Amino acid sequence: ELPSNLATLCNKLVDRLQVAAENSCQTQRDQTAAINCVRLLTRLLPYIFEEPEWRGFFWSDIPTGQQQTTSNGEYTNKPPLAERLLQTLADLLFCPDFTVSSKKKKGPDNPEDIHTIDSCEYIWEAGVGFSQSPVHTPSNDKNRTEILKLLLVCFSETIYMNPTAELHSHSNKWLTYLTSGHNRQTLPLFTSLINIVFSYDPVGYLPYNYLLFTDT
C-alpha cells in the first residue's frame, strides 16, 4: 500500500549491510545487524520480484537528490542498489571472524580490514588454488550460509518472470554482475565453490550408509 516505505526499507537494509562490511564486522553488534539485514532481504526479495512494476527497482539510477555529495557540493555517481548489495555480500563472504577464520591474533590492535586483505588466502576449502585446509567454525559456516541463501534468492528473479517475451528479452542482471570483473571477489568465490563441491564426501555424512553400500 505504501511502496515508498518498502523502497526506503530496502535502501536502509543495504546501507546497514555496507556499514557492517566497511567496519569488517569487527563487533558483535555489526555481525548481528548484518545477519538480520540478510534475513530480512531474503524474505522481502521474492515478494518484490513477483511485482512487474518493481522489477527494475534494484537496478534503477539513484535520484540526484539522494546521491552522495563531495566536499565541493558535487553529486557523485552512486551505483544501483543491486550492485551495492551484491558487492557487499561478496565482501562479507570473506570477512575474517564472521564468515571465515581469521589468520591473525584477535584483538583491537590487530583488526583485519576486509578491503585490504587478500581474499584468495581465505578460500573456504582446500583444492584449486589453495592447498591448506582452513579452520571451520559453526558460526562462520552458519553466517556464510545465510549470505549464500540471499544470493540464491537474488539469482531467482528469472522464475518470477512471464515465460514468454519478457523472459527472453531480459538477462539475469544479478548473476551477470556477480560473475563479471566488476566483482572483486569473483576469483576466490568461484574457487571456494568449486573446492566445496569436489571435497564433498556423501559417505561420511549419510546415516546407515552400510545399508546402501556393501563391503568389498
The verdict on residue 216 lying in a domain is no
What is the tally of structural domains in the chain?
Answer: 1
Ranges 45-49, 136-140, 157-161, 192-196: which has the least confidence = 157-161
Which pLDDT score is estimated for 166? 60
Please state, in angstroms and rounded to a whole number, the distance separating the CA atoms of residues 215 and 207: 16
The tens digit of pLDDT for each residue in 115-140 reads 778 888 899 998 887 788 888 899 99
The tens digit of pLDDT for each residue in 72-114 reads 555 567 899 999 999 999 999 999 999 999 877 555 555 567 7
Ranges 131-140, 171-180, 193-202: which has the least confidence = 193-202
What domain range includes position 152?
A: 3-211
Instruction: Return the SS3 of 100.
Output: strand
Short-list 94, 67, 98, 48, CA closest to 193: 94
Please state, in angstroms and rounded to a whole number, the distance separating the CA atoms of residues 168 and 148: 26
Which pLDDT score is estimated for 127? 87
Q: Is the pLDDT of residue 67 over 60?
A: no
The verdict on residue 91 lying in a domain is yes
The verdict on residue 59 lying in a domain is yes
Please state, in angstroms and rounded to a whole number, the distance separating the CA atoms of residues 87 and 198: 26
Amino acid at 160: Y
Rounded to a whole number of angstroms, the CA Rg of the chain reads 20
Any idea what the Cα angle at residue 197 is, between residues 191 and 199, rounded to 5°? 95
The verdict on residue 147 lying in a domain is yes
Cell digits for 181? Answer: 570483473
The verdict on residue 164 lying in a domain is yes
The verdict on residue 193 lying in a domain is yes
Supply the DSSP string of 168-200, one letter for each residue: HH---HHHHHHTSTT-TTHHHHHHHHHHHHHT-
